[in-house]
Chains A and B, each alone.
Chain A
Amino acid sequence: MTSLAMITGGLLMAVGFWGLLTRRNLIRMILCLALAETGLQVVMIAAGYVRRGTAPILDEAGRAAARFVDPVPQALVLTAIVIGVAVNALLLALVVRLYESRGSLDVEDHTELRW
């Protein structure tokens, strides 16, 4: 299970990076960035997986009813998801503004910062 999730996450990240490097439409690039983020989150969760572990929810007495997965990566991924949403929303807003001022979504048309 761990390796399956790891490979899925790694593939998602690879697809996302490939898209970031090859696509020229800004909205597709943002989607690819979101894809890479998702892949990274899957990899992080898989890194905290414990064989036959369950979600880290204790019973009332504070005993671990079963073997738990590592809670630390889950807490980190929760933060990562929220930051990812914030970044994507801001990027989309910037692209909307850019499209309004230039009328183009092609990254090759915006060459001022090129070097």
Chain B
Amino acid sequence: MIKRVAILGVLALFIALLLGRVAVPAPRSGPGPTGSAYIERSIPELGAQNVVTAIVVTWRGLDTLGEVSVLFLAAAGVALLLRTLGGGRGGNGPPRRDSSEILKTGADVVTPAIVYFGVYVFMGGHLTPGGGFQGGAVIASAVLLLLLAFPSYRLRHGILTAVESLSGAAYVAVGLAGLVLAAGFLDTRVLPLGIPGRIVSAGAIPLIYTLIGLKVGTELAAVIENLGGRR
């Protein structure tokens, strides 16, 4: 009884706090001062059409580096927790039925398209809505489809680890190059800005987002495989 009252009290407090923001949504007529400054400077300073990408990769690049590190730590933690089990888990059930012909053929046809779309999403992050994290998630979804359609499918961990560590190291190297060639750590103006709208433009933003896309894709693929358990 006391517990229920306490729960209701907490929820009521939360809703009351939230109502202050929700019930009176200030009708904004434009972005705030920070957002406006970012919108004005995105093309002249960085050559990036997508303002969100310019913020994420350059102006708040350190945040993104930390974010990538958190994702890496989580993937490493999942692997540490689940990979040391000695293969006992999930192995004692009845052998799984093979996937149907439709699922197999469909996965064969669709997987390259999904990977291609993921590459498109992370290569064009400075032009269109998209970016490394989104593209990486799309690529990981292709791996999930493969694991579902082919229960005996194994990821090659050597390649995954190599791609993941090399892209992470290259990301930091590009950031360090900013110290020498541009204004500071993770400054994307180490490469020429080029003409806005081209796929190779906006300095190092496409390069960094490609590296992030590869890193996130391989990390999420490893997480999916580990959470799927040994079969």
Within residues 60 to 112 of chain B, which ones have a CB less than 8 A from any CB in chain A? 60, 63-64, 67, 70-71, 73-75, 77-78, 81-82, 85, 89
Give the residue of B51, B78, B216 whose beta carbon is less than 8 angstroms from that of A93. Answer: B78
**Residues of B contacting A: mostly:** helix
Residues of A within 8 Å of B22, CB to CB, are 3, 6-7, 10, 43
Whether, in the assembled complex, A90 has its beta carbon less than 8 Å from a beta carbon of chain B, the answer is yes
Q: How many A-B residue pairs have CB under 8 A?
A: 156
Residue of B nearest to A49 (CB): B28
Whether, in the assembled complex, A103 has its beta carbon less than 8 Å from a beta carbon of chain B, the answer is no
Whether, in the assembled complex, B159 has its beta carbon less than 8 Å from a beta carbon of chain A, the answer is no
Given contacts A82-B133, A93-B226, A100-B89, contact A72 B74 (CB under 8 A): no
Question: Could you tell me if B51 and A71 are in contact, using CB atoms closer than 8 angstroms?
Answer: yes
Whether, in the assembled complex, A78 has its beta carbon less than 8 Å from a beta carbon of chain B, the answer is yes
Minimum CB–CB distance for B80 against chain A, Å: 8
Residues of B within 8 Å of A87, CB to CB, are 74
Residues of A within 8 Å of B129, CB to CB, are 55, 57
Residue of A nearest to B48 (CB): A58
Q: How large is the interface on A (under 10, 10 to 19, 20 to 34, 35 or more residues)?
A: 35 or more
Residues of A within 8 Å of B128, CB to CB, are 57
What's the Cα separation between A85 and B67 when bound, in Å?
11
Question: Could you tell me if A71 and B15 are in contact, using CB atoms closer than 8 angstroms?
Answer: no
Whether, in the assembled complex, A13 has its beta carbon less than 8 Å from a beta carbon of chain B, the answer is yes
Minimum CB–CB distance for B61 against chain A, Å: 11
What's the Cα separation between A100 and B85 when bound, in Å?
10
What's the Cα separation between A68 and B29 when bound, in Å?
10
Residue of A nearest to B60 (CB): A75
- Listed by A's residue number, 12 A-B pairs whose Cβ atoms lie within 8 Å are A14-B15, A17-B14, A47-B21, A56-B51, A58-B196, A71-B38, A82-B133, A86-B74, A92-B78, A92-B227, A96-B227, A97-B82
Closest 7 CB pairs of A and B: A62-B43, A86-B74, A70-B31, A56-B51, A70-B35, A60-B197, A75-B55
